[in-house]
A and B are shown apart, each in its own frame.
Chain A
Amino acid sequence: MGKTKDKKNNNSINFEDSSLYINRELSWLSFNERVLSEAEDEKNPLFERLKFLAITASNLDEFFMVRVASLKDMINAGYKKLDIAGMTATEQLDAVLIAVHDFVDKQYEIYNKYLMPLLVDKGLRISDVSELTKKEGEYVDRYFDEFVFPVLTPMAVDSSRPFPLIRNKTLNIGALLKKKEGKDGVDFATVQVPDVLPRILEIPATDSDTGLRKIVLLEQIIERNLSKLFMNYDIITSAPYRAGRNADLSIDEDEAEDLLKEIEKQLKLRQWGQAIRLEVSEDMDKKLLKLISEDLGVEDNEIYRIDGPLDLTFLMKVYKLDDFEHLKEHSYKPPQPVVAFSGDKDIFEVIREGDVLMHHPYETFENVVKFVEKAAVDPDVLAIKQTLYRVSGNSPIIAALAKAADNGKQVTVLVELKARFDEENNIVWAKMLEKAGCHVIYGLVGLKTHCKITLVVRREEDGIKRYVHLATGNYNDSTAKQYTDVGLFTCAPAFGEDATAVFNMLSGYSEPLGWNKLSLAPLWLKDRILDLIKREEEHAKAGEPARIIAKMNSICHKEVIAELYRASSMGVKIDLIVRGICCLKAGIPGVSENITVRSIVGNFLEHSRIFYFENGTSPEFYASSADWMPRNLERRVEILFPVENEKLRNKLWHILDTELKDNEKAHIMNPDGRFVKEKISSDGFEESINSQKIFGEEAASAAKVMTTQNTRVFVPEKHV
């Protein structure tokens, strides 16, 4: 590949050369490492570090179920196509497994070496059952007898009983048994650690206590009492193990008569996909391990020998223990009221006065819920249309939609059944909404509906008015407290027309003849993004201001990245804020030396997609539900929307600008693709900037000013 620094002549550079790209799986692992680094970071409160460690474990589970499984499928199918970085599926899998082994070692190093001792210092021990006092032992045995034993289903394996199916992600205890009397020979038995019971049990304080609280893990309680399950056997050895299975759903929608039924069927299958990971306790007996691994059909490099408790997601339960509030993060402000909605004005009146842009979770998501709730009871509202991708349990939005239907409104809800790992949840909501009289639609065959849009049609004095909410995040009031997103309220007719057209399209009607403001995937969005990048390229060529700032979760679309490389080589300054996967390499001379990539991993999950294009001297701002990934741009229904109001554009600029200045939670990509954490110089002059904290504080002070302004004070007249 020939590279040249002559930015006016970049024809000789092949921007699609695979050496310029990072494999997406390795890039994802790099993201999980950044999360892990938060667990390692001493500046974080101890319990937050536990939470970050738990998140890495849960992330890794999903990664295996979907991504590793997919690589295995490719290998099994003899798929020969190279990935973006020029790797075969086998090469990718080998690299991933090596990286994951290192990653898991690091997880347990942090767990054992740093977090556990600190936890003991702070008065909490995750005890091994062998360390319990007699009295404590008796307590756990009693707990076993009363609560655990009745829900256990031990299963022995012999010639007449085959090896049982081990369900995905479940924790199990395997054991080798020998009959107390009678013939020789060893039997294998397994018992699933029941997920209906809490994974951790706190031992009540005793007299001899030194103030140290102790918790034990359920699998250890079972192991300690294993003999009660196999009365006529001697337990030769036992140890916990956990299997991860292929869970990637691939539904043949063309053949599925009823999508709902098909997904229900697939959900059942998910538990029984091919095993792709086996986690075992480090001290598991070799014979026992051989037996289990052979039966599950896992290779040696798929076996993870764990130095500690399996499945660290239990640390989220530890995080929720009472009385450790002082070890958690409290410097981040809770969601604040949105200034625009602070007065006595009706929500529709406020939107009529001008567009409103909200930045969650710093500003509360409550107004979005209220918007739907108000529409449900407003006598002038004729119709409500909304897309639902992932909703929370007991979602107030669902309740409001059902109420609206009950009040005689036309309610159309697009429930995306295929939202991964949320399918069961979605089916429940879909059925409930249908029952309430809503018109439930399930989107377009072959495409996931990922855009977040709500349309309220209202009959007003001067005619029909349409109110639209567009967002980068899901209509989930629960995750809206954890994810950073932006949402726009508008009643501009051009947006209203487009929103109407979006729902018509999702209902299966023909696409509109043209769009006013929105760009939609999979038909138009990718080209729009490429055009916007190319336009900056043209500006750069003409010597005009040319800059792109793009904030998203992931970027791995080759065509888009190649266009960014081309723009960079022409002199366009590009700053990417990418939380997760990034297949682009920053800082390669002649290719991406004008590109910077930073990843912010903080208290909140960075989730908003905001794009800035300098466009000479007429900058444009956009927000979107889509990342720059093939799945978003080519296989999903996504929306890109412009933000045109000057004040709101300033707000978006401030978000981008502050994140570019973040030096506390930002990791910067080096030309080799590795991320290093931004370092603040120790001279004391450089100010520490944590963008998430700043946004929270700003929202709080804006809310405070608003409260002060709204407080009515009667001043008593002074007697002269």
Chain B
Amino acid sequence: MTGEVFAAIDVGSYEMALKIFELSQKKGVRELDHVRHRMDLGTETYATGRISSFHVEEMIRILKDFRNIMEGYGVTHYQAYGTSAMRETRDIVVVQDLIEQSTGIHIDILSNSEQRFLDYKSIALKQDQFEEIIRRPTAIVDIGGGSIQISLFEKDALVATQNLTTGVLRIHTTMEEVHATKLKYRDLVSELVNSQLSVFSKIHLKDRKIENIIIIDDYVSPIIQKQRMGTDREGYATRQEFLKFLEKASVTSAIEVAKKLNIPEDNVPMLYVSGTVIKCFLDETKADNLWAPGITLCDGIAYEYAEKKNFISSPHDFEQDIIACAQNISKRFMGSKSRRETLQKIALTVFDSTADLHGLTQRDRLLLQIATILHDCGKYISLVYLGDCSYNIIMSTEIIGLSHREREIVANVVRFNHEEFEYYTANSKFFEGFTREDYLRVAKLTAILRIANGLDRTHKQKFKDVTVTVKDRELEIFVDTNADITLEKGLFGNRASFFEEVFGIRPVIRQKRII
């Protein structure tokens, strides 16, 4: 058999899911099996920060079952991810180890931005529909158990993404805590959601017109998918159709709704919550159309793996989305567009020309690019504590597509671009939890960023063109300019020393005059 059988496991806040896929260049990603088990992990971990032994045992039992199913398909590779419920568990390392010892399955924890990025990637599996819909202003509303992620598209590109800490399960728990009656239920949910949504709206929406909403959730999506809202296109509903459906559902008893829609009765309250959240977005954005692609995190996991193994390739440039997102953050913190472009150009030229020296990957190149884009975001707060402020802004702002560790790398690179580099020690507060490789990555990227930053010390973008060659233990940086670069040359020494320390060669500036 050509290709591979791959398993994706999602330990979610309300459900554990396993999907088995067949991956091949010929057929792409083909789903073979989808197994779901209801387990309300979120209610417990959100409230206590722990997973009880009862739930750990249950997880072990299910994962053992999953393992059997995987063996039944001859699965060769798998990826298991835990999301918000596991992420919010304090003793997660212990739980991870316990599970791995008992089942042989290792669960990695996804940061929110990684999780949303996978969700987002999996939408792109439905390539034609996706490309068609994002041509118009579109928002992705990804409703999870613990939080909601909103991402905005403009002209084919992702321009903003924001996490709201009001997931379906959290809202449902809150409603139970306040003993919300059926009569007040919808108003209270709306109030809760709108309190966060209005802030989002002020920062990101402003005058933006949103026409389409892409829905990712576990409750409303299947209904739209099954065309139970009177729509004639699978997975689509108009604003009117959806609102009519929600109105009907809210005046019908849970038993009746479950019966009519062929869903478990337990799911009905979540359906109300998810539906109300969507209504809030429709009200806020005035969007006309809903599209529920019916994808799950498992699809995203498989998509990512298939892409990595070259079984599939996507025409959509996801890296460009990450970059666009970073640019948008920079814009929000008054970063200079021309300066970040100059820095990017120089830094990436240096990176590409020193590939043999640094041994870094294309992913690291992306991190460098993000670092150049965000290199001065802290300026918005303070010119004095630029390094610290930049670090804190980056660490507090989600960059979709980056893992928590990658974000930390970017934040440190930006910090040490402005401050003295902190060398690695076991107790270093800067590199807590970092591996040796992560630390070296920070050092190398910092060295490159510093060089780039040094070449534009005066922020005047004096160089039209920059080329770099490595020659006789020197990194020769040729700059085309007629401007006076005395300051750049004079202050370059400091930065060059750090570069030499890291890479073992000394950077020098060679000026070429433009005639």
Q: Which residues of A contact B (CB under 8 A)?
A: 382-383, 410, 412, 439, 457, 459-464, 500-501, 504, 507-514, 523-524
Is the beta-carbon distance between B72 and A410 smaller than 8 angstroms? yes
Given contacts A410-B72, A463-B24, A464-B73, contact A510 B38 (CB under 8 A): yes
Interface residues in B260-301 by Cβ distance below 8 A to A read 262, 264, 294
Interchain nearest-CB distance for A2 vs B (Å): 31
In the complex, what residue of chain B is closest to A439 when comparing beta carbons?
B68
Q: Mind listing 8 A-B residue pairs with CB under 8 Å?
A: A459-B5, A462-B26, A463-B22, A464-B74, A504-B33, A508-B37, A509-B37, A510-B36
Interchain nearest-CB distance for B39 vs A (Å): 11
Is the beta-carbon distance between B32 and A500 smaller than 8 angstroms? yes
Given contacts A459-B1, A461-B1, A507-B65, contact A382 B35 (CB under 8 A): no
B405 CB–A CB distance under 8 Å: no
Given contacts A383-B71, A463-B22, 14 further A-B contacts (CB under 8 A): A382-B73, A410-B68, A410-B69, A457-B72, A463-B1, A464-B73, A504-B34, A504-B35, A508-B37, A509-B35, A511-B264, A513-B225, A513-B294, A523-B262
Interface residues in B194-225 by Cβ distance below 8 A to A read 222, 225
Give the residue among A463, A504, A511 with the most B Cβ atoms within 10 A. A463
Q: Which of A382, A504, A507, A512 contacts B74 (CB 8 A)?
A: A382
Given contacts A439-B68, A513-B225, contact A383 B73 (CB under 8 A): yes
Is the beta-carbon distance between A524 and B262 smaller than 8 angstroms? yes
CA distance A513 to B26 in the complex (A): 27
Q: Which residues of B contact A524 (CB under 8 A)?
A: 262
Q: Which of A383, A501, A509 contacts B72 (CB 8 A)?
A: A383
Interchain nearest-CB distance for A343 vs B (Å): 26
What 1/0 mask marks residues of chain B from 217 to 243 whose CB sits below 8 Å from any chain A CB? 000001001100000000000000000
Q: Which residues of A contact B73 (CB under 8 A)?
A: 382-383, 457, 464
CA distance A511 to B3 in the complex (A): 29
Interchain nearest-CB distance for A515 vs B (Å): 10
B473 CB–A CB distance under 8 Å: no
CA distance A500 to B1 in the complex (A): 21
Q: Which residues of B contact A (CB under 8 A)?
A: 1, 3, 5, 15, 22, 24, 26-27, 30, 32-38, 65, 68-69, 71-74, 222, 225-226, 262, 264, 294
Give the residue among A382, A383, A510, A512 with the most B Cβ atoms within 10 A. A510
Q: Which residues of B contact A462 (CB under 8 A)?
A: 1, 26
CA distance A461 to B26 in the complex (A): 12
Q: Which residues of B contact A410 (CB under 8 A)?
A: 68-69, 71-72
Interchain nearest-CB distance for B274 vs A (Å): 15
Q: Which residues of B contact A510 (CB under 8 A)?
A: 15, 36-38, 264
CA distance A513 to B263 in the complex (A): 9
Is the beta-carbon distance between B30 and A463 smaller than 8 angstroms? yes
Q: Which residues of B contact A512 (CB under 8 A)?
A: 34
Interchain nearest-CB distance for A524 vs B (Å): 7
Interchain nearest-CB distance for B172 vs A (Å): 18
Q: Which residues of B contact A461 (CB under 8 A)?
A: 1
User: Closest 8 A-B residue pairs measured CB to CB?
Assistant: A383-B72, A410-B72, A510-B36, A509-B35, A513-B222, A382-B74, A504-B35, A463-B22
Q: Which residues of A contact B69 (CB under 8 A)?
A: 410
Is the beta-carbon distance between B37 and A460 smaller than 8 angstroms? no
Given contacts A382-B74, A410-B68, contact A464 B35 (CB under 8 A): no
Interchain nearest-CB distance for A418 vs B (Å): 23
CA distance A523 to B264 in the complex (A): 10
Given contacts A439-B68, A504-B33, A508-B37, contact A464 B15 (CB under 8 A): no
Interchain nearest-CB distance for B179 vs A (Å): 28
Q: Which residues of A contact B262 (CB under 8 A)?
A: 523-524
Q: Which of B22, B36, B38, B65 contacts A464 (CB 8 A)?
A: B22
CA distance A508 to B38 in the complex (A): 10
Interchain nearest-CB distance for A606 vs B (Å): 33
Q: Which residues of B contact A511 (CB under 8 A)?
A: 264
Interchain nearest-CB distance for A504 vs B (Å): 5
CA distance A632 to B24 in the complex (A): 42
Q: Which residues of A contact B225 (CB under 8 A)?
A: 513-514
Is the beta-carbon distance between B33 and A514 smaller than 8 angstroms? no
CA distance A511 to B262 in the complex (A): 10
Q: Which residues of A contact B226 (CB under 8 A)?
A: 513-514
In the complex, what residue of chain A is closest to B21 when comparing beta carbons?
A464
CA distance A521 to B178 in the complex (A): 38
Is the beta-carbon distance between B74 and A463 smaller than 8 angstroms? no
Q: Which residues of A contact B71 (CB under 8 A)?
A: 382-383, 410
In the complex, what residue of chain B is closest to A463 when comparing beta carbons?
B22
Interchain nearest-CB distance for A517 vs B (Å): 16
Q: Which residues of B contact A500 (CB under 8 A)?
A: 32-33
Is the beta-carbon distance between B36 and A509 smaller than 8 angstroms? yes
Given contacts A383-B73, A410-B68, A513-B222, contact A463 B3 (CB under 8 A): yes
CA distance A509 to B37 in the complex (A): 5
Interchain nearest-CB distance for A494 vs B (Å): 13
Q: Which residues of B contact A439 (CB under 8 A)?
A: 68
Is the beta-carbon distance between A460 and B74 smaller than 8 angstroms? no
CA distance A508 to B5 in the complex (A): 24
In the complex, what residue of chain A is closest to B263 when comparing beta carbons?
A511
Interchain nearest-CB distance for B122 vs A (Å): 15
Interchain nearest-CB distance for B103 vs A (Å): 15
In the complex, what residue of chain B is closest to A513 when comparing beta carbons?
B222
Is the beta-carbon distance between B74 and A459 smaller than 8 angstroms? yes
Interchain nearest-CB distance for A436 vs B (Å): 15
Q: Which residues of A contact B37 (CB under 8 A)?
A: 508-510
Q: Which residues of B contact A463 (CB under 8 A)?
A: 1, 3, 22, 24, 27, 30
CA distance A663 to B441 in the complex (A): 88
Is the beta-carbon distance between B32 and A464 smaller than 8 angstroms? yes
In the complex, what residue of chain B is closest to A510 when comparing beta carbons?
B36
Interchain nearest-CB distance for B476 vs A (Å): 54
CA distance A524 to B260 in the complex (A): 11
CA distance A628 to B35 in the complex (A): 30
Q: Which residues of A contact B72 (CB under 8 A)?
A: 382-383, 410, 412, 457
Interchain nearest-CB distance for A679 vs B (Å): 48
Q: Which residues of A contact B33 (CB under 8 A)?
A: 500, 504
Q: Which residues of A contact B68 (CB under 8 A)?
A: 410, 412, 439
Give the residue among B24, B27, B34, B294 with the most A Cβ atoms within 10 A. B34
CA distance A393 to B73 in the complex (A): 31
Interchain nearest-CB distance for B68 vs A (Å): 6
Interchain nearest-CB distance for B73 vs A (Å): 6
Is the beta-carbon distance between A460 and B1 smaller than 8 angstroms? yes
CA distance A508 to B39 in the complex (A): 12
